[in-house]
Amino acid sequence: MRYTAGIDIGGTAIKLGIFEEGGKLIAKSSIPTDKSHNGDHIFDNIKEALYKLVESEGVDIKQLGGAGIGVPGSVVKGGIVNGCVNLGWGEINVKARFEDILGMEVRVINDANAAAYGEVLYGAAKGYNSAFMVTVGTGIGGGLVIKDRIVEGVFGAAAELGHICINPDESVECTCGKRGCLEQYCSATGIMRMAKERYKDRFFDAKELFDAGKSGDMDALSVIDEAARALALGLSYMAAAADPDVFIIGGGLSAAGDVFLDPIKKYYREFVF
């Protein structure tokens, strides 16, 4: 029997999975992301966790045909990461480094692209010709798949809508140094920034804000409405470029459900051509 490893390197945790041919998950584990020393321990930590995981399943590491690794940053030329601020990485040939320490074929792609591709193969976009996935969490990322192919872009930055400028008059600076980025209005961070500006410490975090909105709290709903409007505007731009069959909204905030999704749909219909 041959297996494949899937590894998702996040800013907080690294998730590992072992898959049978055909895509069935047979084992998984998670380790914290050690970002010290510019994220240099990540490589050995993953090797250790992967060996432990295959061992626990009675699988020989040599039965692993390869590993697919998702990283939270731009990937170019088949495996070179162009700086992952969330991991401390600068420019690293992640593919070469992992192939060296793991001794198997490795493919490295952007995490949102991996998520989009997964949704097309096995998830919410199964059977569709094209899909645009948006991940709404601490930040906003995206992945675009057209006819079974991930659109990566010349700088590995395709479908990266988090820092499009939707408000050139914004006075607050984004983490990226620019002003008026989409993330500033509809990521978890952006939503809490708006909530704090208006209602100080009334809402502890985005989950509490969305829960209040579900209970009909008008203050919470006004913030959610503005966030939804911003995201819908961003999606309408992505639709103008790629005209995908479906959008998929993932990431932590997608758990909010209809209280967030309904106004996104409403504004999207207004904005889109």
Segment interacting with its own copies (CB under 8 A) among 49-57, 95-103, 111-119, 156-164: 156-164
Q: Is 232 or 253 the residue whose CB approaches its own copies more closely?
A: 232
Does position 245 bind its own copies by CB under 8 A? yes
From candidates 139, 244, 251, 263, binder to its own copies by CB under 8 A:
244
From candidates 176, 197, 205, 262, binder to its own copies by CB under 8 A:
176
Q: In a 10 Å sphere around its CB, with 0-12 CB exposed, 13-18 middle and 19+ buried, how is residue 183 labelled?
A: buried
Element (H, E) at 167: none
Does position 243 bind its own copies by CB under 8 A? yes
Residue 159, φ and ψ in degrees, nearest 5: 65, 15
CA atoms within 13 A on the CB side of 195: 28
Cα distance between residue 34 and residue 153, in whole Å? 29
Judged by CB under 8 A, how many residues of this single chain contact its own copies? 38
Cα distance between residue 137 and residue 160, in whole Å? 14
CB of 196 to its own copies, least distance (A): 24
Does position 217 bind its own copies by CB under 8 A? no
The CB density around residue 32, as the number of other CB atoms within 10 Å, is 10
By CB under 8 A, the residues from 92 to 131 that bind its own copies are: 129-130
Pair of tokens at residue 23: 């895509």
Segment interacting with its own copies (CB under 8 A) among 15-23, 51-59, 60-68, 241-249: 241-249
CB of 103 to its own copies, least distance (A): 31
Contacts of 33 (CB under 8 A, 6+ apart): 9, 10, 11, 12, 13, 14, 39, 42, 87
By CB under 8 A, the residues from 40 to 99 that bind its own copies are: none
For the CA atoms of 242, 246, 252, 254, the dihedral, rounded to the nearest 10 degrees, stands at 130
From candidates 99, 111, 160, 226, binder to its own copies by CB under 8 A:
160
Does position 273 bind its own copies by CB under 8 A? yes
Q: Is 70 or 244 the residue whose CB approaches its own copies more closely?
A: 244
What does the binding site for its own copies look like in residue numbers (CB under 8 A)?
129-130, 132, 144, 146-147, 149, 151-165, 168, 176, 178, 233, 236-245, 271, 273
